[in-house]
């Protein structure tokens, strides 16, 4: 079962030690060559054992045992602000939580925005078509089937409506909207991991690509906010209600350690959204949607007596978490415990 763990103080049979040593050589954590290791922290000594579920920790992170990597506490961005600890969300696996959330104030006087961090080694990602966006019938299409509720950790919105942007959509060998070279692309592979990059140069079609969702151009590239973030922001990054540059925005990024980060909330300009993504560890990132109605990230747990329960990261998010569980008309992204 998913929640079984090794009992504290449990003995490992001597005949298992050779097998254990061999497995450790195969699964010892690796980092990206030449890339900064900025978004994860080991929760206790001997983390190479811990992050693969072989041993229990000698200490706790919060009130639970965390064997897998956890995100590094984000330093404040605004003067005088305090760091807000990460909180585990969703059901846990054998090594603890794979999803953590926090909030951060991007600048003095601003409202807090939400940040989510997802461990791609322990959580898989699936791009879902909506019932009418991009149109047609798809293998992975709203609603999320109830058979997947036991492992559902989170869901968040996709990009702009396809009628409002040239962004493409691809799934399982079919195109809902053509893919365009240079567009920011969220690429899902058949092993459940995702990557982000400019289509045709940083990411491209291969036999392992399961789905692609494009939206605008990259907001974060090689660990830096693109200069275009501050150039004609309404034209480049979408017209908001009231033509406000600082409005509800969301974005998603990947870190040097191949983890996934999501940022969203009120009062964000494109440049500020990019800055929070970079602060959270993103080396590549893209804007998703804008305006109060559409920015949403919900987390779920399926271990309650009443069944699956969802919670929005910010109480001011308009759509309820249940809308991803029904026939929602727009595309979205779901995250599942492996």
- Written as six digits, the tokens of 21 are 């040593």
DSSP string, 276-313: HHHHTTEEEEEEEEESTTT--EEEEEEEETTEEEEEES
Q: What are 195-247's pLDDT values in tens digits?
A: 999 999 999 999 999 999 999 999 999 999 999 999 988 888 888 888 888 99
Ramachandran angles phi, psi of 240, nearest 5°: -95, 170
The C-alpha atoms of residue 169 and residue 211 are separated, in whole angstroms, by: 7
- Most distant CA pair in the chain, distance: 69
**SS3 of 226, please?**
coil
In a domain, 92, yes or no: yes
Domain contains 231: yes
- Please provide residue 190's backbone torsions phi and psi, each rounded to the nearest 5 degrees: -70, -5
- Residue 26 within any structural domain of the chain: yes
Mean confidence (pLDDT) of the chain: 85
| Domain presence at residue 4 | no
Question: What pLDDT is attached to residue 313?
Answer: 97
Element (H, E) at 15: helix 14-27
Beta-bridge mates of residue 113: 104
**Gap between the Cα atoms of 49 and 68, Å rounded:** 9
Short-list 170, 194, 197, CA closest to 182: 197
Tell whether omega for the bond before 134 is within 30 degrees of 0, i.e. cis.
Answer: yes
Cα–Cα distance measured from residue 97 to residue 144, given in angstroms and rounded to the nearest whole number:
21
* pLDDT-derived band at 166, boundaries 50, 70, 90: confident
- Expressed as residue numbers, the domain containing 93 is 13-338
Does residue 131 sit within a domain?
yes
pLDDT score of 52: 36
What's the total number of domains in the chain? 1
Q: Tell me, yes or no, whether 42 lies in a domain.
A: yes
**1 part of a folded domain:** no
Q: Is residue 5 part of a domain?
A: no
pLDDT value of position 149: 96
- Checking if the pLDDT of 21 tops 80, the result is no
Alpha-carbon span 299 to 244, nearest angstrom? 29
> What per-residue string of b and e applies to 13-47 under the rule 16 or more CB within 10 Å gives b?
eeeeeeeeeeeeeeeeeeeeeeeeebbbebbbeeb
Calpha distance 330→237 (Å, rounded): 19
Say whether pLDDT at 92 is over 50.
yes
């Amino acid at each position: 079962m998913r929640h079984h763990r090794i009992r504290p103080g449990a003995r490992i049979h001597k005949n298992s030690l050779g097998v254990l040593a061999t497995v450790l050589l195969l699964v010892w954590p690796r980092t990206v060559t030449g890339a900064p290791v900025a978004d994860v922290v080991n929760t206790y000594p001997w983390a190479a054992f811990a992050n693969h579920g072989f041993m229990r920790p000698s200490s706790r992170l919060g009130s639970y045992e965390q064997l897998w990597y956890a995100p590094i506490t984000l330093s404040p961005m605004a003067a005088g602000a305090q760091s807000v600890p990460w909180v585990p969300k969703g059901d846990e696996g054998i090594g603890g939580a794979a999803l953590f959330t926090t909030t951060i104030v991007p600048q003095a006087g601003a409202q807090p925005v939400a940040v989510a961090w997802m461990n791609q080694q322990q959580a898989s990602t699936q791009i879902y078509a909506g019932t009418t966006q991009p149109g047609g019938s798809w293998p992975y299409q709203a609603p999320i089937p109830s058979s997947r509720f036991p492992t559902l950790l989170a869901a968040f919105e996709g990009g702009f409506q396809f009628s409002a942007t040239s962004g493409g959509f691809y799934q399982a060998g079919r195109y809902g909207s053509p893919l365009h070279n240079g567009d920011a692309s969220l690429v899902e592979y058949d092993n459940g991991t995702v990557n982000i990059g400019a289509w045709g140069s940083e990411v491209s079609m291969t036999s392992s690509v399961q789905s692609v969702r494009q939206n605008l151009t990259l907001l974060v590239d090689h660990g830096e906010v693109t200069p275009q973030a501050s150039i004609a922001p309404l034209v480049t990054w979408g017209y908001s209600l009231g033509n406000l540059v600082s409005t509800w925005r969301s974005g998603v990024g990947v870190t040097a350690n191949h983890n996934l980060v999501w940022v969203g909330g009120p009062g964000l300009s494109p440049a500020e959204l990019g800055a929070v993504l970079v602060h959270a560890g993103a080396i590549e990132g893209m804007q998703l949607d804008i305006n109060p109605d559409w920015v949403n990230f919900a987390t779920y747990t399926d271990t309650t007596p009443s069944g699956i329960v969802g919670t929005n990261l910010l109480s001011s998010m308009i759509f309820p978490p249940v809308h991803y569980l029904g026939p929602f008309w727009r595309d979205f992204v779901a995250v599942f415990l492996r």
